Structure 1
């Protein structure tokens, strides 16, 4: 925790600090990954996961044929297949990490909205 976090915690009332402590725990990685398959983008993320596994399978197939290639031209073509397939896998993995990051940012924004709503309710009372 930084000094700013400590200053914010000290400024909160005991009730607010207790309330916000419930949201401090971040979800484990496996639940964050599985969370990308739900919601409005869930179907697209399932499709992207299937494509990721298909591209990895294609990379393995190309690598297998690369080692069986008898001439240099064929070996180069199979190695291009390996590189392109693994690039596709890498790009899809980056997409999934961006989705997980987006979920984390949205969760923090919702926490801030909740804090502002509680502050506004207290100011009106």
Structure 2
């Protein structure tokens, strides 16, 4: 590579480091610190409640003999699993939304920087 390519590559790498995506743990923690933290806590509570109900239904399913009870506990297990899945999908969409907002902010910073560079050059 020649010198201009090396300079461009180092500038791009510097910008990538400056605007790097935060780790997943940080992203998850940010959802509990944001404006809708109360909603994240409620969703976590319901997700744990659905997990407890699913475990209860699964253990009861293997201990009963009546067909009607088997159907009832299987249905309860499936509904609680669906509840957990829906809450996790909502939470995933919240993480994606935060990631998109972060990316838009990065683009705004880069446009502002380029605008400043253009104004100082002219």
Q: The TM-score by the shorter chain falls in which range?
A: 0.7 to 0.9
Question: By how many angstroms is 1:25 displaced?
Answer: 2.9
Counterpart of 1:124 (choices 112, 119, 122) is 119
Instruction: Tell me the residue number matched to 2:94.
Output: 99
Kindly tell me the number of residue pairs found equivalent between the two proteins: 115
Asked if 1 retains the 8 angstrom alpha-carbon contact of 2:19 and 2:106, the reply is no
RMSD of Structure 2 on Structure 1 (CA): 2.1
Offset at 1:22? 2.8
Q: Tell me what 1:45 maps to.
A: 40
Counterpart-to-counterpart distance in 2, 1:64 and 1:76 = 13
What's 1:111 paired with? Answer: 106
Aligned equivalent of 1:3: none
The Cα shift of 1:26 comes to 2.3
Unaligned runs of 5+ in 1: 1-9
Of 23, 27, 42 in structure 1, the residue corresponding to residue 22 of structure 2 is 27
Q: Residue 85 and residue 74 in structure 1: after superposition, are their counterparts in 2 closer, same or farther (change >3 A)? A: same
> Which one of 83, 89, 101 corresponds to residue 84 of structure 2?
89
Q: Distance in 2 between matches of 1:13 and 1:121?
A: 19
Question: Which runs of no fewer than 5 residues in structure 2 stay unpaired?
Answer: none
TM-score by length of 2: 0.83
Scaled by the length of structure 1, the TM-score of the pair is 0.81
Instruction: Tell whether the 8 Å contact from 2:31 to 2:40 is kept in structure 1 after alignment.
Output: yes
On the 8 A contact 2:60/2:73 being kept in 1, the answer is yes
